[in-house]
Amino acid sequence: MNWQSKANIFIIIRGFIILLFTCLISTIKINLCFSNTLPLLLHNHNNHDHDHLKTLEFDGHLSFDDVDHASKDFGNRFQYLPSAVLYPKSVSDIATLVKHVWEMGMTTELSVAARGHGHSLQGQSQAHKGVVINMESLSENKNSVMYIHSDGEFSYVDVYGGELWINILHETLKFGLTPKSWTDYLHLTVGGTLSNAGISGQAFRHGPQISNVLQLQVITGKGEVVNCSKEENSDLFHSVLGGLGQFGIITRARISLEPAPSMVKWIRVLYSDFETFTREQESLITQDQNNSFDYIEGFVIINRTGLLNNWRSSFNPHDPSQASQFNSDGKTLFCLELVKYFNKDNIDMVNQEVEKMLSKLKYIKSTLFISDVSYVDFLDRVHVSEVKLRSKGLWEVPHPWLNLLIPKTKIQTFAHQVFGNILTHTSNGPVLIYPVNKSKWDNRTSVVIPEEEEEEEIFYLVAFLSSAVPSSRGRDGLEHILKQNKRILEFCEKSNLGVKQYLPHYTTQQQWRAHFGPQKWHKFTQRKSTYDPLAIFAPGQRIFQKGKSLIQFS
């Protein structure tokens, strides 16, 4: 090759390099231009939303500054800052906001989340760059009074959706009445628990809280205020119950009541054999109402010594000498927790009934502990623990809870692997386990329970209520507990146990589809397109995304 040919090749290569660098520089400039412009566009978009919101008139007020608290919840793991928080003083305040967002349509990215007492675990009550409604503000209005009706046979209470259950308890007791079904913790709002289910040890008899609702007032995703019940607008009524906040905001609820006891006989006994423990739990919840307990739960105790001594501050051992000699030897034990309601004038009869029922159970005889406490003290028992934990700075920590609903036919398989191999201690928090009757759950609601055989009447709640030490990298640290939860879920899926999550949390559409199952998912998406077609509500559940057609999810 002569020098002229080499020179030509050199010129071509140099030109190619110059062209390449020119393209790179142009690309960088374009990217820089977009990277500088995009936040500006988003900022202008948010300002646009703010300006529109500021034009609205409320009986209460809308805050753009006092929003930090609405970006946190009990789970203490997720934090999404909203654009604003509404403090409503009337139902119309909420309707005005929702209707405004609905009418803006796709020109706004605003979403709306109803926040009660902020006890969600995975940011479900949060709304990133949206509007959070402080539902408790509605109940704090001086004009918000509960209406209690009783004609001797039929009793109910009308309450706002942001009312705490503990307040309802105190008010209804003034009339000698009480709601039938509870959660273990009463400092939760009506709308919050009814959007999930509301489960405790009374559920075997009365069903969850959603089975004891007579009527609702709901604001739909179009800003409409609708009254609904089993007879009136029944599809909306059943959609909202257990609906995870997807179909409407519960602003009022009519709750069924019954005569209230004044006292409870609170009992704890231990088992070392899981099969005996579950068999007797199942027997107790299927007995005639007059010959059974009023509350039945249980919990798992793994590798904990000195447990009975811890009980002595609240319970009296039936036989102190035997109880003092009991040694768990590091075994996994199962506690059956029972309650019988009574009034002071019939204590002798109740004592005889309880003794007769206990005589049929095969618990470890030296572990019988009994305590007589007031009805209120029993129902509000978790709050006592809360006060103690708050004083030690141990309440506002991460709570990576895992709640599962498990078919009766699979509970032995589950227990063998989870309590035998995956869990090695329970120092992070209680592990609850108790059966409920399927017939007490209405399959027309949105809540998802295990799909068992038709003749199968019982399924179990198993709740791992862990608290994580923020700075710990050990067994009580967040990372370890999350890995443990993952192992439990992976085992359930691999073993095809048919387990369903209660207070569910998923991150993909595929997972939500699997959770609901084909038929229930189809119905769920149909209801969403009917009552909240723009997917305005409860973005923190991560089921639907605003701005995307619901057709793709059906």
Whole-angstrom Cα Rg for the chain = 28
pLDDT in tens, 418-447: 999 999 776 688 999 999 999 999 999 999
Fold of 146-259: 3.30.465
Report d(CA 412, CA 282) in Å as an integer: 13
Give the angle subtended at the CA of 18 by the CAs of 12 and 21, to the nearest 5°: 140
Both tokens of 247, joined, read 């179909």
User: What letter represents residue 82's amino acid?
Assistant: P
Give the angle subtended at the CA of 533 by the CAs of 529 and 537, to the nearest 5°: 110
What Cα–Cα distance (Å) separates residue 73 from each residue in 151, 190, 389, 419, 536?
40, 17, 17, 29, 20
Both tokens of 234, joined, read 């029944």
- Residue 45 pLDDT class (50, 70, 90 cuts): low
User: What letter represents residue 522's amino acid?
Assistant: H
pLDDT computed for residue 224 by the predictor: 98
351-368: b (≥16 Cβ within 10 Å) or e: eebbeebbeebebeebbb
Residues 6 or more apart whose CB falls under 8 angstroms from that of 88 comprise 58, 59, 60, 94, 97, 133, 134, 135, 137, 138
Count other C-beta atoms under 10 Å from residue 198's C-beta.
Answer: 26
**DSSP letter, residue 189:** B
Report d(CA 17, CA 274) in Å as an integer: 75
CATH number of 55-134: 3.30.43.10
pLDDT computed for residue 509 by the predictor: 87
In terms of average pLDDT, the best of 131-140, 252-261, 471-480 is 252-261
Q: Is the predicted pLDDT of residue 21 greater than 60, yes or no?
A: no
DSSP run (H or E) holding 182: none
Q: Is the predicted pLDDT of residue 200 greater than 80, yes or no?
A: yes
Supply the DSSP string of 229-259, one letter for each residue: ESSSSHHHHHHHTTSTTSS-EEEEEEEEEEE
> Looking at the chain, how many residues does it have?
554
Please provide the average confidence, as pLDDT, over all residues in the chain: 88
Domain boundaries, given as residue ranges, for the chain: 55-134, 146-259, 263-501, 509-552
The single residue of 73, 93, 297, 380 carrying the catalytic annotation is: 297
Q: Is the predicted pLDDT of residue 11 greater than 70, yes or no?
A: no
The single residue of 73, 93, 109, 119 carrying the catalytic annotation is: 119
pLDDT in tens, 472-511: 999 999 999 999 999 999 999 999 999 999 999 998 989 9
pLDDT in tens, 530-554: 999 999 999 999 999 886 655 444 4
Spelled out in words, what is the top-level CATH class assigned to the domain 263-501? alpha beta
119 has catalytic annotation: yes
Q: Is the predicted pLDDT of residue 177 greater than 80, yes or no?
A: yes
DSSP run (H or E) holding 286: none
Does residue 403 contact residue 501 with C-beta atoms inside 8 Å?
Answer: yes
Of 7-21, 371-385, 404-418, 447-461, least confident by mean pLDDT is 7-21
In terms of average pLDDT, the best of 48-57, 277-286, 391-400 is 277-286
187 has catalytic annotation: no
Instruction: Calculate the dihedral angle through the C-alpha atoms of 91, 97, 99, 104, rounding to the nearest 10 degrees.
Output: 180
Report d(CA 513, CA 448) in Å as an integer: 12
The single residue of 158, 184, 235, 452 carrying the catalytic annotation is: 184
Supply the DSSP string of 419-444, one letter for each residue: IIII----TTS-EEEEEEEGGGS-TT
297 has catalytic annotation: yes
Q: Is the predicted pLDDT of residue 396 greater than 50, yes or no?
A: yes
Report d(CA 133, CA 136) in Å as an integer: 9
Report d(CA 196, CA 182) in Å as an integer: 13
Both tokens of 24, joined, read 């790179």
Of 83-97, 102-116, 315-329, least confident by mean pLDDT is 315-329
